[in-house]
Structure 1
């Protein structure tokens, strides 16, 4: 992918906030998404909007994507290396990860297989659980998520 350098004095940052949820069966929640013609497996979450704090962003994203209220727990990781957007738009990605505990029951159905979309449109998203012993950096697509996958793989989580 060709890099597009920003104009001098203009630094286009894209701040993303993601939740790490591990259930009582020791499974990690991931989102399978089809975006801009590509297939991505990532942690649930999304983009920070102007005027939001990172925790408020994740609460909003969790409610929008999973239709669920969540408690935002401990901070797990913030990007500490340069990462350009996967979409080649010249933006630098900064991702912040928190532990998430569901406050309300899950209402969406979970899929068993990756990218098991009911219908493939311009954008599609489904959620699934991956057993902790099968989870690794290979389970997710995005470079920053791969770093976080290795961090959380061996962490102790109380449910």
Structure 2
């Protein structure tokens, strides 16, 4: 793909001038430490800056170096990540730190191929890290940048159908003299000016060149993919109490959705079942114990990337059987006072809060 007829040098100059005046002052931008920049890049995947900042600061207090992270217990890592979502990112950070210590003596690599071989790091994340940490002229293409470039050239298809062309465009534009500032400026432009809805074109340094703006198509571009409605699952959840006032929790398998996190056991409602029948069956299948389903605690809605759930949570009384982790990695009986020591998914945090309020 060739750029429309405008001067790439001028595009770079105008964007860098704009960034020098309006660029965001973010904690990781005051550092050239590749470890700190890597952590910020992973946290910023699918998470807003204002949400990331306190997590980022807490993370660096707990794990100031790659060696600290590599030596940490995964449960400690997941607990610190609790609430940020997309937990595979935390598991990958931990595995990645261990790989960097083993293969690179704890120094984050500066070759693109080496960085791309690390768990959880794709092309745009690698470009973000290497340009910010080592000032290497490597392009990026996150969601904000896709939108900026799609509008710049008035892209006539959804960005997902033109990734090769958008990468070529990002490669052509990146400023080899100031790659760190250029990539940061491009991300800021998408985050603060060239926003998804009602872009603030009067503040944009590229209005002279932006084809969508010149054609008055900025509200139609980027074009959207037609998406199917998200599947919806009804889930029965059991808060199982024993005679000692302890609650049974289980740890999800390390791989897969919410891997390594703890939860209250339960599962999907089958056709023709009541919620009470669902919970009794799931607990028998997952833990091989008999329970009595008691009072309803709460119902809550939660959305993941590819599906939505309604969690129907019931107090349950443990009756008999030796609990076994048939579909989980581990099980524990814990008191309500001890439960905060374990990393839980966001929806389960609301259940814990309700239990504490009722205790």
Output the TM-score relative to the length of structure 2: 0.34
- Alpha-carbon contact 2:242-2:318 (below 8 Å) kept: no
| Map 1:89-108 → 2, pairs under 5 A | 90-103=306-319, 105-108=320-323
- Alpha-carbon contact 1:19-1:45 (below 8 Å) kept: yes
- Structure 1 residues 40-49 or 26-35, which shifts more? 26-35
Bigger relative CO (Cα 8 Å, ≥ 6 apart): 1
Q: Secondary structure at the match of 1:127?
A: strand
- Alpha-carbon contact 1:140-1:146 (below 8 Å) kept: no
Q: What do residues 52-95 of structure 1 show as CA deviations (whole Å, max 9, x unaligned)?
A: 2211110100111121221111000100x4x222xx3x211111
Unaligned 5+ residue runs, structure 2?
A: 1-44, 47-224
Shift of 1:126: 2.2
Q: Does 1:126 align with 2:126?
A: no
Of 139, 142, 154, 2:342 maps to 139
Aligned length: 135
| Map 1:31-46 → 2, pairs under 5 A | 31-34=250-253, 35-36=255-256, 38-46=259-267
Shift of 1:11: 4.8
CA distance in 2 between partners of 1:5 and 1:139 (Å)? 39
- Alpha-carbon contact 1:132-1:153 (below 8 Å) kept: yes
CA distance in 2 between partners of 1:96 and 1:129 (Å)? 21
> Which residue in the other structure is 1:13 paired with?
232
Q: Secondary structure at the match of 2:337?
A: helix
- Computing the radius of gyration from Cα coordinates, the structure with the larger value is 2
> Which residue in the other structure is 1:148 paired with?
351
Q: Which has the higher helix share?
A: 2
Output the TM-score relative to the length of structure 1: 0.72
CA distance in 1 between partners of 2:313 and 2:332 (Å)? 19
Q: Which has the higher strand share?
A: 1
Q: Secondary structure at the match of 1:51?
A: coil
Shift of 1:16: 1.4
